[in-house]
Amino acid sequence: MATNITKIFLVLNSGSSSEKFSLYEGEDEVCSLYFEGIEEDGKKKFICTITRADGSEELVDKKWDSLDVAFREAKAIFEKEGFINEAHPLDGILVRVVAAGKYFSKNHIVDDKTMAELEKVQVTNPLHVPGTERGIRNARETFKGVPVILMSDSEALTAESRKDTMYALPEKIVEEFDLGRWGAHGASYGYMMGKISDLGLLKKKMVVCHLGSGCSVTALVDSKPAYTSMGETPLEGLMSSTRTGSIDPTIGALLGEKLGAAAAIKLMNKESGLLALAGSSDMREIIAGAEEDKPEAAAAYNMFIDGVAGKIGEFAAKMGGIDAIVFTATIGERSIPVRSSIIGKLGFMGFEIKNDASVDKSAGYANVATEESKPIYVIPTNEAAYMIKKASELLDEAE
């Protein structure tokens, strides 16, 4: 059955102290609402910013005492703006979920089983699951009758082609906690796998580097995922803006014993990484600090570059070589210094980057490699487009 690309979807992003609502018609974002907390007279208040398709922003002339009202207010704003009405009803609400067990490695139309499964994985994912659960409950209550679709952040990575899905733990423990290297950033990798093929850039052995506030690397063989850097949770793998990346598990155990599991997981996810090393989670500030010879910034930058280059090298060894490298996400797409530093360590594999400040990306991608080098592509990702495509397919199948 053909996918209806004109469906109207609301994509929800629930943070610990924020809610973002992005409204799409087909794959075009028509409006977004961002509710966030501020301090006013010693009390926490919540404000909302409207961003329209033309990029214009408007701060709503209203403040709220609680984030719980966000869904009701969002519905009222979208209706007042004319984006949602009887003639243009919502087709679905998309809620992204981390890879929290086998059930969540696939996309689902939310039902009672979904809510029961979310309760089960609170233990292994106390940082992300509560926000997801809250978002789903509020969405179902506010937009009654509209399907809520749970979008797995690992669905695109759970192919049989993966060679790194297991942990070396006793089987009874793996089964009890439903553990596996599910991977994350799946919406980005799913989009990239399709886009690379559509652009005619497909090579047999490729590595895609998703470098943003969260960072991961995935190896593709014949366009299918073979290895990925994140594991049971997004904490495994590369250090990123506020995450430790892979560390000695004994440290996690000690922190859990000292602080409690939830606090330890929060520390390693939200208070570590570049932020802990350099005092900033913004790569632009870290690069500027390194250029000013600030030792903390330089150390953080070098550790980050070594981590990404090292993971590319690891995947090269596992695949028996690499034919092309792809950079995507905010840092990967925009930071010339980061790309240059990473590729500068990979000359022995046949990669050499040029100064790409003036490269025309109007074709939807750029090859920033020198003529003598294997290809190095910069391709913008579009996670929402991938999720909307998969949600449309899921709804069409359910009809």
With the C-alpha atoms ordered 343, 349, 355, 357, is the resulting torsion angle positive or negative?
negative
C-alpha 211/C-alpha 184 separation (Å) is: 12
- The residues carrying an active-site annotation are 153
For residue 34, what are the β-bridge partners?
Answer: 20, 49
- The answer to whether residues 349 and 322 touch, using CB atoms and an 8 Å cutoff, is yes
For residue 326, what are the β-bridge partners?
Answer: 208, 377
Adjacency order of strands within the sheet including 8-14: 57-59, 43-52, 28-40, 18-25, 8-14, 92-97, 148-152, 108-109
Tokens standing for residue 65: 């005492």
Tokens standing for residue 316: 């090269």
Angstrom CA distances, 100 to 171, 231, 246, 268, 321, stand at 18, 10, 18, 17, 32
C-alpha 22/C-alpha 134 separation (Å) is: 17
**What is the b/e burial string over 124-149, where b = at least 16 CB atoms within 10 angstroms of the residue's CB?**
bbbbbbebbbbbbebbbebbeebbbb
With the C-alpha atoms ordered 357, 362, 365, 370, is the resulting torsion angle positive or negative?
negative
Tokens standing for residue 162: 């993966």
Helices (H), the chain: 70-80, 112-120, 129-142, 171-177, 186-198, 249-259, 261-270, 273-278, 283-291, 295-319, 329-334, 336-344, 383-398
